[in-house]
Amino acid sequence: MMLAHFLLQLGTLLFVTYTCGWLFQRIGQPRVVGEIAGGLLLGPLAFGYLFPGLSAWLFAPATMHPLEIASNIGLVLFLFVIGAELDLSKIQEKRAAMLAITLGSVGLPFLLGIGIAVILFPRFGMPNASRVGFTLFVGIAMSITALPVLARILKDRAEAGRPLDAATAAHALLAAAANDLLAWSALALILTLVRAHSSVIDAVLHLLVLFAFVAVMLFAVRPLLSLLAKRYADAPGWMWLLGQVALAFLSASITDALGIHAFFGAFLAGLCVPRTPIRDVAQPHMLQKSFQPIISVTLPIFFAMTGLRMQRSMFQTGGPAWLAVILILAVTGKIIGAALSARLSGISWPSATQIGILMNTRGLVELIVLNLGYREGILSGSLFTLFVLMALITTAMTVPLLNLSERRS
C-alpha cells in the first residue's frame, strides 16, 4: 500500500511538472521554469486550494519521507555536477571583468536585501530566529544567480539560431559561476553562525573547522585527484564514476556533520573534479551524462516539495504588496548592479545590459537556498512563499527582457 501511494505521488508530480515544462518550452521559456511552476501548482496555491481533501490524502506529511530522501539525493548529485562544471581556470583568465560584474551583481542586491530585511524581520521573522542570521540570509537570497538556468537559456537561443554575442555570453557565464561560488561560501558561513548560536567561541571554532575542511578539499584532494586522473586516464569510466559519487556523498556527509549542510559538501566535491579527460571524455561531461537521468526525475520532486511548503495565507495579509517590493528590489539590484559594473569594466552598454538581464536569473539555485532557510527556521512560511514567487518571476523575465534588449539594439 505504501509503495502504491509513493508511485501515485511520483507519477502525479512527474506528469504535472513535465507537462508544465513542455508548455513553457512552447512559449520560449526554459523547461526548468515550467517544471518549477508545475511544482508550485501542486501545493496550496492551486491543487491544495481547489482539491483540499485529495491534496491532504495524496501528499499527507506522514507519507512524504521517501520523496524527501529522493529529492535530497538528486540535489546532492545536481550540486556535485554544478561544481564539477565550474572551470576555475577560466574564471581566473578573465578575472578583471568577471570580478567587477560579480561584485556588482552580488554587492548591490545584497545591500538592498539587508535593507529590506530590517523591515521584514518584525513582520515575517521566526520567533527564535537570529536577527543577524535572518538579515544576512535575506541578503544572500536577493543576490543569487542560477548558473544552470542561465546556461540553458544561452544554449536554447543558440539552438534556435539566435545566439547571444560570444563575449557577452562568456562574461555572463563566468560571472554567474563566480556568483555561485561566492553565494555558497557565504551561505556556509551564515549557516555556521546561525547553528553555532550558543557562544562566539563556538561559532569561531565551527568556522575554523569549516575553513580547514575547505582547504583540505581544494589544496590536497583536488591536486591528488588531478594527479590520479593523469596517471590512470585509461581506467574504465565506471570506476571513476563510482569514485566520484563516493567523494560527493562523503563530502556531503562531512559538511552535514559539521553543521553546515550536505549540499555545500556536494558542491565542494564537484570543485575537486579534475579537468583531465578519462578515455578522451571530459569528466564533467561524463558526470552530466551519467547522472542526468537521475537528476531529471528527482528535481521535479524537489519542485513539488517546494510547492507544498508554500502558504496561501500570505495573500490575505498584504502579501502581494510585499511581493511587489521584494521583486522591484531584486530586479533593479541585480540588473543595475551587474550592468553598471560591466560598463565600468569597459563593456559596451548593450552588452552590459544583457549581462545584467542574464544575472537576474535565479531559478533552481535560489529555490535550494530558500528551502535551506525554511528548514533551518530562518524564513517563515509566508516569507518563503514570497521569495519563491520572486525567484520564479525573475527567472521567467529573462527571455522576454533579452528579446526586448535585442530589438532596442
Torsion of Cα atoms, 328 then 185 then 29 then 380, to 10°: -60
Question: In sequence order, which ranges of 86-146 are alpha helices (DSSP H)?
Answer: 88-93, 95-124, 131-143
Residue 201 has pLDDT above 80, yes or no: no
Which pLDDT tens digit goes with each residue over 288-303?
888 888 888 888 888 8
246 neighbors 176 (Cβ within 8 angstroms)? no
What gap in Å lies between CA 201 and CA 179, rounded to an integer?
30
Q: How much of the chain, in percent, has pLDDT values that exceed 90? A: 21
264 neighbors 184 (Cβ within 8 angstroms)? yes
Burial (CB count <10 Å: 0-12, 13-18, 19+), residue 63: middle
What gap in Å lies between CA 131 and CA 116, rounded to an integer?
13
Which pLDDT tens digit goes with each residue over 347-363?
889 999 999 999 999 87
pLDDT, mean over the chain: 85
Q: Which of 109, 117, 84 lies closest to 179, judged by CA?
A: 109
Q: What is the pLDDT of residue 199?
A: 60
Output the nine-digit C-alpha cell for 129.
Answer: 530566529
| Residue 338's pLDDT band (cuts 50, 70, 90) | very high
Residue that is written with C-alpha cell 550536505 in the block: 262
Output the nine-digit C-alpha cell for 24.
Answer: 513553457
99 neighbors 176 (Cβ within 8 angstroms)? no
Backbone angles phi, psi at 260, to 5 degrees: -100, -80
Q: What is the pLDDT of residue 186?
A: 81
All residues at 6 or more sequence positions from 86 whose CB lies less than 8 Å from its CB, including other chains: 147, 177, 180, 181, 270, 271
Which pLDDT tens digit goes with each residue over 45-86?
888 888 888 888 988 888 888 888 888 898 889 889 888 887
Q: Which of 173, 149, 141 lies closest to 21, judged by CA?
A: 149
Burial (CB count <10 Å: 0-12, 13-18, 19+), residue 60: exposed
CATH architecture of the domain 2-408 equals: Up-down Bundle (1.20)
What gap in Å lies between CA 88 and CA 84, rounded to an integer?
10
